[in-house]
Amino acid sequence: MRSVSELMSLKGRVALVTGGAGHIGRAIAQTYAELGAAVVVLDRPGSAAESVAQELTETFGILATALHIDLADEAAVRKVPQRVVETCGRLDIVVNNAAFVGTDGLKGWTAPVEDQSIETWRQALEVNLTAPFLLVQQAIPFLKASGKGAVINVGSIYGVLGPDWSLYDEATVQGTPAAYGASKGGLLQMTRWLATALAPHVRVNGIVPGGVERNTPEEFKQRYISRTPLKRMAREEDMKGIAAYLASDLSAYVTGQCIMVDGGWSAW
């Protein structure tokens, strides 16, 4: 029987993390690098993907590389798994963490629901749902060949639950628009669907984070904490344990699960 440290090891494996230059993506990439995996940090053009990859190599002594990809570009997304294999020799773990969250001031994202832009809705679905499906689809041959293939989709509590509007004021009332919730809900259902479709060769699971404390207005933070059993918002490092578990042989008999990492938010 293997030890826990042996089950947790990712030595010899290659992980692709989309949105890898973001706060949750970087924490997940660090986790896999620390456990011995080579890591491909995928993020949009202009992101800090290169510096994150360099940091991983310098800190953990593993192979890390950056890919600058617009996930709304179907042709570019199709080529990603093959590019990873050409660079790293294999592909064992795919983490769909990147998300369109409307932080660029795009039209209709923060409007009241009756005024939310259909164009922006489509952009959210393209990046948050269509791109992950396409990426996994193109990675299937490599994940099957791995013998340890694992897909991890990063959702959101608002892909599971409706927003608690008592948390929001006029300044933040559209912090979680319909497009975001719908796309993340679709991603979680896709997780369950792919888990049965790709078994027994590839495991597919989801991480469902609650609110993460990062540049959060203090009034919203306090309202959120009062609603959360563990009485705090999540930190990036709270995602490391579940990311390690789902990618490694610690969860070798787990598939089709979407695990809430929300401080008990969904337990009420």
Active site residues: 180
Peptide bond preceding 200 in cis form (omega within 30 of 0): yes
Beta-bridged to residue 149, according to DSSP, are 202
Provide the sign of the torsion angle of the four alpha carbons 159, 165, 168, 171, taken in this order. positive
What is the rounded distance in angstroms from the CA atom of residue 60 to the CA atom of residue 30?
Answer: 8
- Residue 104, by phi and psi: left (phi above 0), alpha (psi -120 to 50) or beta? alpha
List Cβ neighbours of 138 (8 Å cut-off, separation of 6 or more): 77, 78, 79, 80, 81, 82
Q: Contact at 8 Å (CB) between 37 and 46?
A: no
**Closest alpha carbon to 67 in 84, 85, 89:** 84
Q: How far apart are CA 61 and CA 56, in angstroms?
A: 7
Quote the CA–CA distance of 130 and 127 in Å, as a whole number: 6
36 Rama class: left (phi>0) / alpha (psi -120 to 50) / beta = left
